[in-house]
Structure 1
Amino acid sequence: MMTNSPHHNILLLGDARMAFPVMKAISRAGHSVFAGVSVYSNYMEWSRYLTGSFWHDPLEPGTDAPWPVIRDWLNANPQIDTIQPVNEASIRFVTRHRDFFESRATLILPDRQTIALSFDKTAMFDLCQEIDGPVAPYSAVKSLSDIDAQIDRIGFPFILKPSKVDAYVFDRKALILRDREDYHRQFPYWPKRHPELLMQAYVSGPRHSVIYSADRGRLLGALEIKAGRTHEDDGTGYTTYGVTVSPNPTIKENVERFVAQLNYSYTGCLQYIVDPDSGRVTFMELNPRVSLARLAEAAGLLHSLWGLELAHGRPVAGRNDPWSFPTGVEYVWTKGELGLIATLRKNGAIGSRGLTRRLVRAGWDALRCHHAIFDPTDPLPAIGVYANRFIRPWVDRHRQQSGFMPVEGVVSYE
């Protein structure tokens, strides 16, 4: 698939799952794609759609350890004319060094004000209220005493999640606290890495993510995806099974207001919770990046190419009806699904019958859905992922039984 646009050399930063469909779409359009990769790359460097890659320390801890390598690589490769961060860690990294990156190439990234607002989830909730959006009762809290003071107003169950810092709360993206005993058990003390948390009344239901592209507040295309399962059994994790659905009227209206209010450009993801019984909707967050990119591309939302065109000042017509995408398009992240099954089995949370049922469902989904990483035209990365997951433990056990120590410097991709 070629386009009429000039040839570009694009550097992708952030070697997460969402990088794969972006890499494929841009490469198939005739451009050259390069990537920085780390131990979290899912073997992206093996992809046939990648022109070149280089290694750096992981971006995920939020440190600047990768900075010298990425800076020096860019200085040594002046042909790079476009840079796209594809996940939250890479966006935060690029934001810290935005002046340098903008001096080297064109960024496919919303403006500084939008990025700063999206990182402050409390401010996003405030904005949602200002534009009459759906948001359950919430409060920014900075101590245990703040939480205790808000319990009478917000009540149980409530959810605690990061407000400003990109870090887990006791190894979870969010904590669902159903009663006082649950609260004290899951949240025994205030985690020092978080200056503030967001406390909100818990609304039960699946997550609905709207992937959209926009040009200066004008919606080009929008796709609503319902998360059927996540890699955490309580629904707070990353999506392992998702399906495109008809736009929820409340969500549709709120997305259009957000995009207009922020004068948004490029791709974003607005997330909501929808109670399937009452129909109640509550806003979750804005991610100023590609998300569930494989499913979006499979459903026809060309956000990767649109972002490239917009970044270089070329007009994108979008769709006459920006919501006119097919429903029933399915996505699966099999590795995440199998990881959850293994954890539940190890913890005794499911028996043999439950294990069999989940494995059969995972196998059936793997046969018929679009995959996070696996692509029949580009199978090597997925082969690397599963070979590493299933062969590496056997190799390690064999070394231990033989009296050999693990080879220094060998890293896992988990």
Structure 2
Amino acid sequence: MGTREINLLLSVAGDLPDRIRLIAPRSDLWFRCLDKSQMSGLVDSLGIPSAPLLPVSGNGAVKDAVESLGWPCVIKPVSEQTSICGEKALILRDPEGLQGFLNDASGSPEPLLVQKYFMGRRHNLYFLAEHGRIVDVEETRVDRTDRRNGTGLGVAGRRIQASPEWVSHLRKLVSSLDYHGMGCFQFLESEQTGEGCFLEVNARLGANYGHLQKSGADLLERWIEQASLNESRNEGRPETVRSLKYAWTYGELRSIERRWSDGSAGLGETAHDLWKMVESGLKADVHLDGSWRDPRPAWVLYRRYFASLLKRLYRKGRPVPKVSAHARPTQSALPR
């Protein structure tokens, strides 16, 4: 369930009959987590590592912020509820990229955030909290996403042992927010230096949580139990966990097709991406597309996708009939 759907549910929560219990984050907590500028200030005050971030409005302020932070940098909307040029974030690496963005956004009064770029792999800490106290936490490392620049949705990754350092940072944030319920805390970690950087926290599950559920994690069941009985079990998870790989083949296939269609990837690059997709699928312990026990949903998903793909390819390859400038219209084409 995404941001739009949760917004809708929270807007009607007070009108639901008593027999229906809505399992969702508190409204104030939900909207506070959506505000990236406010969350950045809180994270800084708690001493959680994060990249410098500046709120801006207008092209002049964007240029000043970029010059202050240096290259490369990230431009993103203030709230997760909006996008920027159809993306969650844009990475600008040089003045040409900045000028292209300014040309596209010319005259837009929307407030934005400019942040120093941090290179690293994305990690998700899925957690269950009870009145500001962590009950349990699981960590997932995202190895590849559906965007070349590392933004977007994870298409390949694995479950790993939760980082004690970042769990400690998470505890501080959860306590400060008096967090109650389930959430997803994201950070980046540099493969070269091991340093980390806070990314964001969402008061909902991420798209790749399904592989934790399939691998035996019971955070979701405990969240439902917490909401139903106003309490949760106190058993923690084992000290060590097995590293389970996951793959979201459908999401990666669509991203490969998109890059091929818009010309951002050539034949060789597309072939390499397809091979990586197949390799990840073969090595994965868990497939987010579906289950071998019930393959019908995945079968319907792929059948619709390939039927649509064939239609698009047919339209793209069909020659456009040429009409002579001197040709007279047929009787059926004449206005009546």
**TM superposition score category, shorter chain reference:** 0.7 to 0.9
Name the residue aligned to 1:177: 92
Segments of 5+ residues of structure 2 without an aligned counterpart are: 319-336
Partner of 1:340: 255
Is 1:239 paired with 2:154? yes
What's the counterpart of residue 114 of structure 1? 29
2:53 to 130, 138, 148: 138
Q: 2:2 aligns with which of 87, 110, 117?
A: 87
Residue 297 in structure 1 maps to residue 222 in structure 2: no
Alpha-carbon spacing, 1:338–1:129, altered in 2? closer, same or farther (3 Å): same
Partners of 2:155 and 2:100 in 1: CA distance:
27
Q: Quote the Cα distance in structure 2 between the aligned partners of 1:108 and 1:207.
A: 27
Distance 2:126 2:168 in 1: 14
Name the aligned partner's letter for residue 57 of structure 2.
K
1:125 to 36, 40, 48: 40
Q: Distance in 2 between matches of 1:142 and 1:296?
A: 40
% same residue: 24
CA shift for structure 1 position 105? 2.2
Rounded Cα–Cα distance in structure 2 between residues aligned with 1:268 and 1:382? 27
In the alignment of these two chains, the number of paired residues is 316
Q: Which residue of 1 aligns with 2:200?
A: 285
Structure 1 residues 143 and 371, CA gap change in structure 2 (3 angstroms): same
Q: What amino acid maps onto 1:369 in structure 2?
A: D
Q: Report the TM-score, using the length of structure 1 for normalisation.
A: 0.70
Tell me which residue corresponds to 1:44: none
Structure 2 equivalent of residue 205 of structure 1: 120
Maintained 8 Å contact 2:183/2:202: yes
The residue aligned with 2:233 is 317
Tell me what 1:260 maps to.
175
| Alpha-carbon displacement from aligned partner over 1:154-183 (angstroms, at most 9, x marks no partner) | 111110112125122111111001122111
Find 1:390's aligned residue among 301, 306, 310. Answer: 306
Counterpart-to-counterpart distance in 1, 2:76 and 2:238: 30
Q: What pairs with 1:68-107 in structure 2 (closer than 5 Å)?
A: 86-101=1-16, 105-107=20-22
Counterpart of 2:296 in structure 1 is 380
Matching residue of 1:307:
223
8 Å contact kept, 1:221–1:301: no
Tell me the distance in 2 between the aligned counterparts of 1:401 and 1:185.
31
The answer as to 2:116 corresponding to 1:224 is: no
Q: How far apart, CA to CA, are the structure 2 residues paired with 1:196 and 1:221?
A: 36
Q: Cα distance 1:106–1:141, how it changes in 2: closer, same or farther (>3 A)? A: same
1:156 partnered with 2:71: yes
Matches of 1:191 and 1:271 in 2, distance apart? 32
Summarize deviations over 1:249-270 as a string: whole Å, max 9, x none: 4322111111222221221001
Q: CA deviation at 1:141?
A: 1.4
Q: Which moved more, 1:102-111 or 1:228-237?
A: 102-111
Query: What is the rounded CA distance, in whole Å, between the counterparts of 1:319 and 1:192 in structure 2?
Result: 55
Equivalent of residue 370 in structure 1, options 271, 286, 303: 286
> What does the per-residue CA deviation read over 1:294-328, in whole Å, with 9 as the maximum and x for residues that have no partner?
122134321221121111125322433x5735242
Partners of 1:254 and 1:335 lie apart in 2 by 34
TM-score (norm 2): 0.85
Is 1:157–1:178's contact at 8 Å kept on the other side of the alignment? Answer: yes
For residues 272 and 283 of structure 1, the distance between their equivalents in structure 2, rounded to whole angstroms, comes to 4
Task: Identify the residue that residue 196 of structure 1 maps to in structure 2.
Answer: 111
Q: Distance in 1 between matches of 2:167 and 2:317?
A: 58
Counterpart of 1:412?
none
- Secondary structure (helix, strand or coil) at the match of 1:97 reads helix
- The 1-side partners of 2:112 and 2:238 are apart by 34
User: 2:77, 2:84 within 8 Å by CA — same for their partners in 1?
Assistant: yes
Structure showing greater radius of gyration is: 2
With 388-397 and 232-241 compared, the bigger mean Cα shift is at 388-397
CA 1:277/1:127 → structure 2, altered by over 3 Å: closer, same or farther?
A: same
Query: Separation in 1 of the partners of 2:227 and 2:234?
Result: 15
**Contact 1:331 1:371 survives alignment (8 Å):** yes
Q: How far is the alpha carbon of 1:230 from its aligned partner?
A: 0.6
For 1:88 and 1:313, the matched residues in 2 are separated by 26
Report the 3-state secondary structure (helix = DSSP H, G, I; strand = E; otherwise coil) of the residue aligned with 2:271: helix
